[in-house]
A and B are shown apart, each in its own frame.
Chain A
């Protein structure tokens, strides 16, 4: 089995008004599994709430506190209240999604066409890029709603001829935001597979690499969430 087969995922293609729309089945499975896991953990954590938290409630409360601190470090006290649940959901989803592809892989083969049925939803470029673009659109919308004049003027500061630079900046932000997450998780999964091909020599290396990949997944979830908050605060800050 070679690497190219592992990256071959089943696709569903529809034609909507003449436009082909393709869904990646593997990513859909991964997203569903992650959503179910997130809901399940959140439900278990809030099922029997105690004043003195223990077990799973303790862990989830730590994550909530952590993401709250993250939002508070970027936005002022009044606006940050609206973003607490968003930041927590984003961070928790990514935290689980990034680890999904490290566990195992299911590959089926029929008529010399193989299909991989399991991978991180963030190891496909479309997922992270879509998330990054949605965050950017929301940030721009919030900026325009707060003060259209200030939002427009921001593009011509400090000098009017800096407009092209601002435009490039606004396009590059969501691109690097999404691709940073995708590339980290994708490269991690591919290297796990490459090390698996090295037979018994690869076992200790794989243990080290999977440990590092778990670490990278956590760091990337954190970086994605904090950058989402930074981009929103750039559009919302009054002293800008």
Chain B
């Protein structure tokens, strides 16, 4: 097994850890928000998913590069 595959796997694992923590923080605020003001659920839902899409950007870029590393394209 060559080192490129291991590098890609480590890259994807680190991205998963970071993305998990980031998304968790965003979602905790969302749940706290609807616990305080349940009538804002609809508004917060949209905002939360924009936030998650923004937080996910760097982890998912790292995952894409990890996949390319696994395939040996990069």
| A-to-B contact residues, CB < 8 Å | 3-4, 7, 176, 179-180, 182-184, 186-187, 190, 219-220, 222-223, 226
Q: Is B67 an interface residue (CB 8 A)?
A: yes
A-facing mask of B23-66, CB < 8 A → 1, else 0?
00000000000000000000000000110011011101101100
* Chain B residues, CB < 8 A from A222: 50, 53
Q: Is B73 an interface residue (CB 8 A)?
A: yes
**Judging by beta carbons under 8 Å apart, are B63 and A183 in contact?**
yes
B73 contacts which of A7, A179, A180, A183 (Cβ < 8 Å)? A7
Distance in angstroms from A190 CB to nearest chain B CB is 5
**Judging by beta carbons under 8 Å apart, are B50 and A180 in contact?**
no
**Judging by beta carbons under 8 Å apart, are A183 and B50 in contact?**
no
**Nearest chain B residue, comparing its CB with the CB of A191:** B67
* Chain A residues, CB < 8 A from B56: 180, 184
Q: How many A-B residue pairs have CB under 8 A?
A: 43
In Å, the complex CA distance between A190 and B50 comes to: 23
A179 contacts which of B53, B61, B67, B72 (Cβ < 8 Å)? B61
* Chain B residues, CB < 8 A from A4: 71-73
| B-to-A contact residues, CB < 8 Å | 49-50, 53-54, 56-58, 60-61, 63-64, 67, 71-73
B67 contacts which of A176, A180, A190 (Cβ < 8 Å)? A190
* Chain A residues, CB < 8 A from B67: 186-187, 190
**29 residue pairs from A and B, CB less than 8 Å apart:** A3-B71, A4-B72, A4-B73, A7-B71, A7-B73, A176-B57, A176-B58, A176-B61, A179-B57, A179-B61, A179-B64, A180-B53, A180-B56, A180-B57, A180-B60, A182-B64, A183-B57, A183-B63, A183-B64, A184-B53, A186-B64, A186-B67, A190-B67, A219-B50, A220-B53, A222-B50, A222-B53, A223-B53, A223-B54
In Å, the complex CA distance between A180 and B60 comes to: 7
In Å, the complex CA distance between A187 and B57 comes to: 12
In Å, the complex CA distance between A176 and B63 comes to: 14
In Å, the complex CA distance between A182 and B61 comes to: 8
In Å, the complex CA distance between A7 and B56 comes to: 23
Other A-B pairs, 15, CB within 8 Å; known A3-B71, A182-B64, A187-B60:
A4-B71, A4-B72, A176-B57, A176-B58, A183-B60, A183-B63, A184-B56, A186-B64, A186-B67, A187-B63, A187-B67, A219-B49, A219-B50, A222-B53, A223-B54
